[in-house]
Structure 1
């Protein structure tokens, strides 16, 4: 469990989590390969087009999220820590030099036959956090994104179980 003090990051953070019915290694893999990310990343109604993807510390994922209303959102992620299959840390913004970029830490905890994924995001200011929640529905979007991940990975795990290997 992660804690923050009232004078620190608590007023700048968003935390979402979900139990996923799949092995931790498979859930982690869904974040590490663009062929997986393209199938589940984003909230309801969004699709993703990747321009470049380099999953390594210092590597970048440059992509566009297409909203259900036709709006395109330029997105950029750089990986700051990768500890398979336990943890991924990243910076996320609209571009490499985005002054409003935020940091996220994703942890993958085994829980019996499930994996508990926790996504903790810390914004540079309380105002940016509040804008993300109110204007962009960041909490619901995070929950929907993890729901898509859970459904996608459960489908992969089911195929693996049925076929003895991923198909």
Structure 2
């Protein structure tokens, strides 16, 4: 699925203004040593095997929940810039493209927007769960940024 040619069955949108400079917010994602500390909902940890942040690069990682259940993930970066990262979620289960926008509001504030566009045929019943999980991601990111 490509973002420009497919009409998704649904999308999940999350947005938050973070009281941190653009470069700090972007780097928290662009640096795999940082992203592994905050990615995922509450209670998850991450093992990152590959994080090749370039167009065509792959992000291979395993999320582990509080019950030690493992969730392998494969994503491919379709677009990469300090203002916008677009990635195709390849495995497991879901077919979606995620766009992450990093917009500087002023010198000390960044608006982070995540849009997950799902391919036709995906279960739209997941949307409320994913919206809540993304908000937890934002909570974890904000807490991480406060420690830097």
TM-score range, shorter chain: 0.7 to 0.9
Structure 1 portions without partners, runs of 5+: 1-7, 157-167
Q: TM-score, normalised by structure 2?
A: 0.87
- Take 1:51 and 1:10, find their aligned partners in 2: how far apart are those partners? 29
Larger Rg: 1
RMSD: 1.9
Cα 1:153–1:129, aligned 2, differ >3 Å: closer, same or farther?
farther
Q: Distance between the aligned counterparts of 1:33 and 1:117, measured in 2?
A: 17
Written as runs of structure 1 = structure 2, the 5 A alignment for 1:1-167 is 12-84=10-82, 86-94=83-91, 100-112=94-106, 113-125=108-120, 127-133=121-127, 137-156=129-148
8 Å contact kept, 1:20–1:154: no
Query: 1:155: Cα distance to partner?
Result: 2.1
The SS at the match of 1:18 is strand
- Runs of 4+ with >3 A deviation: 8-11
CA distance, structure 1, for counterparts of residue 76 and residue 8 of structure 2: 23
The structure, 1 or 2, with the larger RCO (C-alpha pairs under 8 Å, 6+ apart) is 2
The structure whose residues are more often helix, as a share, is 1
Gaps of 5+ in 2: 1-5
TM-score by length of 1: 0.78
Any idea what SS the aligned residue of 2:119 has?
coil
Instruction: Report how many residues are paired.
Output: 142
Q: Alpha-carbon deviation of 1:100? A: 3.6
